[in-house]
Structure 1
Amino acid sequence: MSGVLYIVATPIGNLGDISLRAIDTLKQVDLIAAEDTRHSTRLLNHLGISKKLISLHEHNEHSRVASMLEKLLAGMDIALISDAGTPLISDPGYTLVKAVTEAGIKVCPVPGASSIIAALSGSGLATDKFTYFGFLPQKNVERVARLNKMKDQRGTLILLESSHRIERLLEQLADVLPSNLIVVAKELTKLHEQFLRGKAVELIEKFKQDAALCKGEFVVLIDNPATSGEGSNEQDDIKLLELLLAELPLKKAVQLATRISGKKKNYLYRLALDINAVPDRGPA
């Protein structure tokens, strides 16, 4: 009988945030695959756990998959952990988990700390619709291009950023999304946890006034609700699209709706996709 791959969330700063189930799992497995074995050894020592560790990070994950599958098929239970938070979420593990599921081996998540959800819950921004984008590319041209694509996505937009790029991100947001409310969650669950709120230019000024703000790890949340030109007349847009979709293919219906309404093509395209995904609404 094959073993189980456990995806174990670990603390993102405060060691008290680890769950009892995570501790039990780490004690019981045969092997722990860690993003950084030195970092994880400190956590395990704190918990009084002595287990064999192997490294699994972005540079060796592909080469590790075959041996991990062999161990699991031999009946070993393995825990996958990252340096902080939930594995696979902007951390290694996707290639391994994909291979394990395709091999028919059980994968068992052991949920826990997540900087994304922690930041969202404390941000004061909408939680009913949010999109996570992870880290932006390093090159400025690629970063701005990604931000320009993001601004068409409605809801709360969530990014991760490092200490040496946070000010650059705020400057780019000031250009791309100058009027949006932004929340910067800094050092979550740690001693110097902070939530900073304001428009991009306001936050830039705060960072200039206090150099210490640049230190740490950041979750950046952007409030990007539907504009008044979109949200207030959405039902009218839906009715227009329904009429057009009854006679035309989706692409042509969206093109014509864009010309008629003057609304953004991406906005109308998403509405059209939503309409097509809903069963026949019947007579109004």
Structure 2
Amino acid sequence: MSIYIIGMPIGNKKDITIRALETFSIITDIYAEDTRSFREFAKYHNIKIKNIYSYEDNNEKQRSIEIISKIKNNSNKNIGIVSEAGTPLISDPGFRIIKLAHENNIKVIVIPGVSAITSCLSIAPMNGSSFTFLGFFYNYKLKDIYNSINTIVFFDSPKRILKTLNFLKIYFPNSYFFIGRELTKKFETYYYFPISEIPEINLKGEFVVVMEKNHEIPKNNIEISNDTIINLQKKFSHINKKDLAKIISTITNYSINDIYNKLIQFKM
């Protein structure tokens, strides 16, 4: 009567631990972020589990309540939670069920697996002794990069990666990047470059980005004149005003509210 958080391969189906394979033999119900990919994985390893349910962002709350109810009503239930790749909770669904399990005194057991974060860090030519992980990068997380003294690690998608790099190029012109694309898969690729020389990147698959900030732009280098506000809104028209206010605030001494009010005043 336990919940097992099981680490899955991040690309290569063979990257699964012996302990994980043994654990699947006692699991009665699997809750998977992607049921189709789990069925393919199960077939590859000859894993026989009849009860496979979806557990994703859209139904995480409902499924978590369902899992707790199942365990309370049947002491023979062993529930497995799996991500499509990697480990639940790490930029994937899983928080709600783990929180509910602890609140209901239900045992949670981790079966560790492959990590895209540490896999990429282990071959990046940067200091990995301490790092700040941002999950998936969004522009409003710029402040987290400024506030960190560590190597930065984040995930990104094919649709966003070039926008992200060009965005960070503005604020960290002397930074270096190491990118792992499609880690452990057939077309695994690596890129190492200064941000001033962004290479041609294959825009397919998933990306793990490792960033060494190097020298930063000094704070307060932007004078918040009316013309500056207008120009910034033109340049970053794809960013909503609240997020843009947060970004500008990180590199000036102006408050977020002051910046936001100016953005509203000079609405484009």
Q: TM-score, normalised by structure 1?
A: 0.72
Task: Please report how far the alpha carbon of residue 225 of structure 1 lies from its aligned counterpart in structure 2 after TM superposition.
Answer: 5.9
Q: Deviation per CA, 1:59-90, whole angstroms, max 9, x where unpaired?
A: 00101122100122222111100101111110
Task: Please identify runs of 4+ aligned residues in structure 1 that moved more than 2 A.
Answer: 224-227
1:216 aligned onto 2:215: no
Structure 2: 5+ residue stretches without partners: 219-251, 254-268
- Residue number among 137, 160, 164 corresponding to 1:165 in the alignment: 160
Query: How far apart in 2 are the matches of 1:200 and 1:129?
Result: 22
SS at match of 2:180: strand
Task: Please report how far the alpha carbon of residue 149 of structure 1 lies from its aligned counterpart in structure 2 after TM superposition.
Answer: 3.5
1:48 match: 46
SS at match of 1:45: helix
State the AA in 1 paired with 2:47: I
- Residue number among 176, 187, 193 corresponding to 1:181 in the alignment: 176
Structure 1: 5+ residue stretches without partners: 138-142, 230-263, 266-284
- Residue number among 148, 156, 159 corresponding to 1:153 in the alignment: 148
**1:49-198 maps to which residues of 2 (within 5 A)?**
49-51=47-49, 52-73=51-72, 74-75=74-75, 76-137=77-138, 143=139, 145-198=140-193
CA contact (8 A) 2:176 2:214 kept: no
Task: Please report how far the alpha carbon of residue 108 of structure 1 lies from its aligned counterpart in structure 2 after TM superposition.
Answer: 0.5
**1:222-261 maps to which residues of 2 (within 5 A)?**
222-224=211-213
Write 1 or 2 for the structure with the bigger share of helix. Answer: 1
- Residue number among 13, 17, 20 corresponding to 1:22 in the alignment: 20
Query: How far apart in 1 are the matches of 2:149 and 2:189?
Result: 25
CA contact (8 A) 2:33 2:93 kept: yes
Q: Deviation per CA, 1:18-72, whole angstroms, max 9, x where unpaired?
A: 1111111112111111011111111011111121101110000101122100122
Query: How far apart in 2 are the matches of 1:225 and 1:170?
Result: 15
* Structure label with greater radius of gyration: 1
SS at match of 2:152: strand
CA contact (8 A) 2:174 2:196 kept: no
Task: Please report how far the alpha carbon of residue 148 of structure 1 lies from its aligned counterpart in structure 2 after TM superposition.
Answer: 3.7
CA contact (8 A) 1:148 1:176 kept: no
CA contact (8 A) 2:9 2:85 kept: yes
1:200 match: 195
State the AA in 1 paired with 2:166: E
Query: How far apart in 1 are the matches of 2:126 and 2:3?
Result: 35
2:261 match: none
Query: How far apart in 2 are the matches of 1:31 and 1:225?
Result: 48
Distance 1:155 1:225, change over 3 A: farther
Report the count of equivalent residues.
216
1:10 match: 8
CA contact (8 A) 1:35 1:81 kept: yes
Task: Please report how far the alpha carbon of residue 122 of structure 1 lies from its aligned counterpart in structure 2 after TM superposition.
Answer: 1.1
Task: Please report how far the alpha carbon of residue 150 of structure 1 lies from its aligned counterpart in structure 2 after TM superposition.
Answer: 1.4
CA contact (8 A) 1:34 1:56 kept: yes
CA contact (8 A) 1:154 1:225 kept: no
Which stretch has the larger CA shift, 109-118 or 68-77? 68-77
CA contact (8 A) 1:156 1:225 kept: no
1:38 aligned onto 2:36: yes
Q: Deviation per CA, 1:94-117, whole angstroms, max 9, x where unpaired?
A: 111111011111111100111111
Q: TM-score, normalised by structure 2?
A: 0.76
Task: Please report how far the alpha carbon of residue 226 of structure 1 lies from its aligned counterpart in structure 2 after TM superposition.
Answer: 8.4
Query: How far apart in 1 are the matches of 2:44 and 2:63?
Result: 27
CA contact (8 A) 1:155 1:225 kept: no
Distance 1:148 1:199, change over 3 A: farther
Question: What is the CA RMSD across the aligned residues, in angstroms?
Answer: 1.9
